Structure 1
Amino acid sequence: MNILLIYPRYPDSFWSFRHAMRFIGRKASFPPLGLLTVAAMLPQSWQKRLVDLNVRPLTDQDLAWADCVFISAMTIQRGSAREVIARCRELGIRTVAGGPLFTTFHQDFPEVDHLVLGEGEITLPLFLRDLELGRPQRLYEAEQRAHLRDSPTPLWELIDPRSYAAMNIQYSRGCPFDCEFCDITVLFGRKPRTKPLGQLIAELDSLYRLGWRGAVFFVDDNFIGDRRKLKEEVLPVLIEWMEARKHPFYFYTEASIDLADDDRLMEQMVRAGFEEVFIGIETPHEEGLAETGKMQNINRNLLVSVRRIQRAGLQVHGGFIVGFDSDTPAIFGTQMRFIQESGIVTAMVGVLSAMRGTRLHQRLEREGRLLGEASGSNTSVDLNFVPRMDSELLISGYREILSFIYAPREYYQRVMHLLREYRPRAKARFHLQPGYVGALVKSMLFLGVIGRERLHYWKLFIWTLLRKPRLFPLAITYAIYGFHFRKVSEKI
């Protein structure tokens, strides 16, 4: 069979970094890891091609070649996924769909021929078996969790790595916490499951052989979910692997704020090559944290925790939310002050959204407050529930936060704050990503000459060269990030 794997397009959002891609000559942030893993599970005798709509358009020739189309998508990609499915249906091409969007909303896609839901290591072999027997079913579901040892190395040969800013791998699934608004535990459970150490190293080896050098994103929703295994087994071997190859990669991932409580874990992560970590801070308002069950963030000084992580050598990126039932109009000023004082440069602020399957969605449904389905976008202002606060006040307050934190003066102040606090690994090498020199030149033109942030840009440029020359590439990177975030916030 000829199998065409299609990854739908992402709309503009904080996570897309689309406006930053033009500076470095890349087309998308990451390749579609789920589809590349699925491709590796298909029979070797099948012909496989992948079209990532974030990299190039889908042509009629692509579809004419295919016997069957496999689609995987996140909720935010719903619109693009529908367009792909419609084109396939019009041409009579069989479609197989899976991933978070279809697992959560499979009833909304009656036009898909086969829905392979949940964790593919379990359900995809069932579909392939029935397909070989000539009796494939329409729906495949499984409540049990997969053993990650059954997850193969992604089929990297299907992509051109030069199209992407970073590569990505998965070490674990699941999160020990159960925040009310989060659908991670719905999809992957609360008990963290991890890949065998040898399997993880084999995946890193595959990226190394591919010729990739630079950023690698561990896509785990909470990388430190099983911290004992990390400290005793995984990180020591990862440190050795990186040192033996002269640190070809640098890593970033997602973790909970209690990372700040473990000096040894932070020290090992930094030695292993981790430089950035995304943390769901959500709100500095303790009532909001208690309301949503974000217990790991309660009874701690969040500013001190962020400072500890940054001084340990990990840049903190933060997720923030407004719209909790306990929020008052004062929350907007509180969020703005916290973000500025923390030095979190990439502060991704969103309005609370009730995702289907979450405890929040269930509670709001019981209370008769649901208005529709969530978009899955962290920049959406289309409320899908009735908030306690006046809706217009909530949206205007949200827009006020974005206008403030991504205004040039405030944004560049946070960059300098971070550079003062950040303590990178003593022997860390500069990571001059491919295209960095071109990105520097473009930033000097578009940000330093044409852009309205030009005075702040040159202040950061000169200050960093004089005071923190080792961090100059990082300063330029954040200047480019600021352009992206400002473009996104202006649309909102």
Structure 2
Amino acid sequence: MKIVFIEPRSSEANVYSKLAMPLLGPVYLGTILRDRGHEVTIYKEDICMPDYSKLEADVIGISILTSTAKRGYEIAKRFPREKVVIGGIHASLLPEEASQYARQVVIGEGENIIVDVIEGRNKDRLVYGSAVEDLDSLPFPDFSLIKGYRRASAVTLVSTSRGCPFDCSFCAVTKLFGRKYRFRSAESVIRELKLRRNNTLFFCDDNFAAHPKRTLALLRFMLGERLRNWACQVRCDVTKNDKLLGLMARAGCKVVCVGIESVNELSLKAYDKKQTVADISDSLAAFHKKKIKVHGMFVLGGDNDDTKTVWDTIRFARKHRIDTMQMCALTPFPGTKVFDELEKEGRIFTKDWSLYDGQHVVFKPKLISAKELQHELIKGYTKFYSLSRSIALLLKLRLRNAVFNLIGYVVIKDWKKANRDMSWLVE
């Protein structure tokens, strides 16, 4: 059979639409089906836009995030309904909605059931996937199935685990992968790394160091591979383990993406982060001491946040030399505690899912208006990624930081141009 997977493009106004990193789900599923003898092609629209007038397939698989759901449904309507299967985290959160556009909706992890769905043995309208307990049983994802990928991407994704033992109130990840932490063996990961050794690697686990003992074992194996440039996502508390942090640096970790979330103590408690501002400060110092760059990720707009919080965040980022940052508007993704609370209080003013990308305010904050929060986020981004900062970094010979800052400057400029009317906002 001829199978085509499609990852819908981001909104034109999404500041991250230029990233060429694909969702791993379609790549795993496509690799499994290819190994079964099917003809598989994957399109990530942000990399390669298919010619839909000529696209033919026996099955069209569409993987959607909340922010790409609207576009995904538009794509689905181009094809006969009986050919379309929809999956991904948004479909798992709102399967009845997704089922209006497809013959079947895959809920949760799809690797254990995709063959039966595609080959017609499972005809259920809503197909519930089960968690893959043995991640070593999965094939290594074949990125060559993605049209235009090698030309567009300088980074290769590697997943070594699934699930997250934490339960942050705004996060939807556990709705797809659960809170049970499952991980691949070090031997399996190393075999894949040998295939990717000439690439810059991004370990896309939700928390690379969630199981310290296991991560230490993996890092010891990685030392022998002499990897020179990789990044991962971690929590601040990883720095409390000196041995773990030291091994990360020695094994080639150059950048960490850290879920800082807030510099407001009350907001940290509300988000169930189980960390303090002092913890965050100590963590950032520890990363920089090991010469690991920090991409700080913040969430703004909680019930304890106001305009001052935005500028406290910028000052904190500058003071602690955060290399790059993203300030997301608190986004009430369906299925999260935050969504349930805001929905109950009548504070969500739009369900245009294309705006649920972390860059658009879609609810009424408690201490300031939605419009005020949106404007302050834009001004904060503009301040951090200023042209003058790029020049200052260049003069200090911090070339990589200067380049990333300049990219941030251009992206924010484009975002402001695309969203100048702010028409979705309420007072």
Where do residues 92-111 of structure 1 align in structure 2 (5 Å cutoff)?
94-109=83-98, 110-111=100-101
Paired residue total: 412
Percent of aligned pairs sharing the same letter: 25
Q: More deviation in 147-156 or 365-374? A: 365-374
In the other structure, the counterpart of 1:276 is 255
Counterpart CA distance in 1 for 2:322 and 2:240 is 19
Counterpart CA distance in 2 for 1:41 and 1:136 is 19
Asked if 1:139 corresponds to 2:126, the answer is yes
In the other structure, the counterpart of 1:228 is 213
Q: 1:116 aligns with which of 85, 90, 106?
A: 106
In the other structure, the counterpart of 1:2 is 2
In the other structure, the counterpart of 1:55 is 47
In the other structure, the counterpart of 1:40 is 31
User: Does the CA-based 8 Å contact 2:294-2:322 persist in structure 1?
Assistant: yes
Cα deviation per residue 1:117-166 (whole Å; 9 max; x = unaligned)?
Answer: 201123324424xx344x62221014656432332211233134122121
* Closer/same/farther in 2, CA of residues 313 and 114 from structure 1, 3 Å limit: same
User: Does the CA-based 8 Å contact 1:3-1:46 persist in structure 2?
Assistant: yes
Asked if 1:193 corresponds to 2:182, the answer is yes
Counterpart CA distance in 2 for 1:182 and 1:272 is 29
Name the amino acid aligned to 2:94: F
Cα deviation per residue 1:95-133 (whole Å; 9 max; x = unaligned)?
Answer: 1111112112222221211111201123324424xx344
In the other structure, the counterpart of 1:334 is 312
Name the amino acid aligned to 2:285: R
In the other structure, the counterpart of 1:149 is 136
User: Does the CA-based 8 Å contact 2:323-2:401 persist in structure 1?
Assistant: no
Counterpart CA distance in 2 for 1:132 and 1:87 is 22
Counterpart CA distance in 1 for 2:195 and 2:36 is 18
Name the amino acid aligned to 2:255: E
Q: 1:376 aligns with which of 352, 356, 378?
A: 356
Q: 1:404 aligns with which of 367, 383, 405?
A: 383
* Closer/same/farther in 2, CA of residues 462 and 349 from structure 1, 3 Å limit: closer
Asked if 1:15 corresponds to 2:16, the answer is yes
Larger radius of gyration: 1
Q: 1:315 aligns with which of 293, 301, 305?
A: 293
Asked if 1:479 corresponds to 2:406, the answer is yes
SS at match of 2:68: helix
Q: 1:76 aligns with which of 60, 67, 92?
A: 67
In the other structure, the counterpart of 2:230 is 251
* Closer/same/farther in 2, CA of residues 462 and 371 from structure 1, 3 Å limit: closer
Counterpart CA distance in 1 for 2:282 and 2:220 is 27
Name the amino acid aligned to 2:219: L
Counterpart CA distance in 1 for 2:58 and 2:38 is 10
- Bigger helix fraction: 1
User: Does the CA-based 8 Å contact 2:263-2:277 persist in structure 1?
Assistant: no
Counterpart CA distance in 2 for 1:60 and 1:219 is 30
Counterpart CA distance in 2 for 1:153 and 1:176 is 25
TM-score using structure 1 length: 0.77
Deviation at 1:82, TM superposition (A): 1.9
Deviation at 1:224, TM superposition (A): 0.8
Where do residues 311-460 of structure 1 align in structure 2 (5 Å cutoff)?
311-373=289-351, 375-381=355-361, 383-385=362-364, 387-409=366-388, 411-412=389-390, 456=391, 460=393
Counterpart CA distance in 1 for 2:104 and 2:31 is 19
SS at match of 2:111: helix
Asked if 1:127 corresponds to 2:117, the answer is yes
Counterpart CA distance in 1 for 2:350 and 2:135 is 34
* Closer/same/farther in 2, CA of residues 386 and 287 from structure 1, 3 Å limit: closer
Counterpart CA distance in 2 for 1:263 and 1:392 is 43
In the other structure, the counterpart of 1:298 is 276
Counterpart CA distance in 1 for 2:137 and 2:235 is 27
Contiguous gaps of at least 5 residues in structure 2? 420-427
In angstroms, what is the RMSD of aligned CA positions? 2.4
User: Does the CA-based 8 Å contact 1:14-1:348 persist in structure 2?
Assistant: no
TM-score using structure 2 length: 0.88
Counterpart CA distance in 2 for 1:341 and 1:299 is 13
* Closer/same/farther in 2, CA of residues 481 and 328 from structure 1, 3 Å limit: closer
User: Does the CA-based 8 Å contact 1:36-1:156 persist in structure 2?
Assistant: yes
